[in-house]
Homo-oligomer: A and B are copies of this chain.
Amino acid sequence: MSFRYTLYYGGCAAVARMALEEVGADYDVVPIDLASGRQRSADYLAVNPKGRVPALATPDGVLTENMAILLYLAQSFPEARLAPLGDAWRLARMTAFNSFIASSVHVTFSTFGRPERYADDPAAQAAMRAKGPVTLREHFNLIDRELAEGPWVLGDTFSTADIYLTFFSRGAAQFDWAASQRNVAAHLQRMKARPSYAAVYGEA
């Protein structure tokens, strides 16, 4: 029998879940209610001392951070071809894209979605809520240029970068300016056609 993964789930753990779906892994989901602060409970901190999601229980141990989970699943299920593992340049390009998502795009979402993480003063939090969407638009303008070739982030080859982007392009779609970023919008439409999308986001 194959190993059954456990995904501690909420918010951006949807990224890890979509990858589990793409590789066809068996997994259970343990919901972590972020609104009630469950990620900072003692029992969850024993799983992930960082108090964040996702965390994935694997046969090797508990793994955190979407970027790591994506690479681990790509290596553990090579037949799913989620990463150009044998090509140093293309793997680095995938890593650069995912790193931009993790350290810029996701962070910018956090500055206007969870400003209390960065400043205690309510007026400061309001200032961050104001600036965040402006910065986010700049990020997505860059991503839109990167998707000009398409159909996927790496061109012809689907990869974890497409999975990672999807969570955030869904979030960006709420803004008026998203409509002008046609490559991003088309990418999201292509992602919606994948069975893994409906399994995670519950819509077609």
**A103 at interface, CB cutoff 8 A:** yes
**Known: A67-B96, A120-B131. Is A88-B76 also a contact (CB below 8 A)?**
yes
Q: How far is the CA of A111 from the CA of B116 in the complex (A)?
A: 12
Q: In the assembly, how many copies of this chain are there?
A: 2
On chain B, the residues within 8 Å of A60 by CB distance are 88-89
On chain B, the residues within 8 Å of A65 by CB distance are 95-96, 99-100, 103
Q: How far is the CA of A95 from the CA of B72 in the complex (A)?
A: 9
**A75 at interface, CB cutoff 8 A:** yes
| From B58, B102, B121, B125, contact of A103 by CB (8 A) | B102
On chain B, the residues within 8 Å of A49 by CB distance are 142, 145
Nearest Cβ in chain B — how far from A83, in angstroms? 11
**A30 at interface, CB cutoff 8 A:** no
**A50 at interface, CB cutoff 8 A:** yes
CB 8 Å contact bits of A115-132 with B (1 = contact, 0 = none):
001111101111110111
Interface residues of A (CB under 8 A from B): 49-50, 58, 60-61, 63-69, 71-72, 75-76, 88-89, 91-93, 95-96, 99-100, 102-104, 106-107, 111, 117-121, 123-128, 130-132, 135, 142, 145
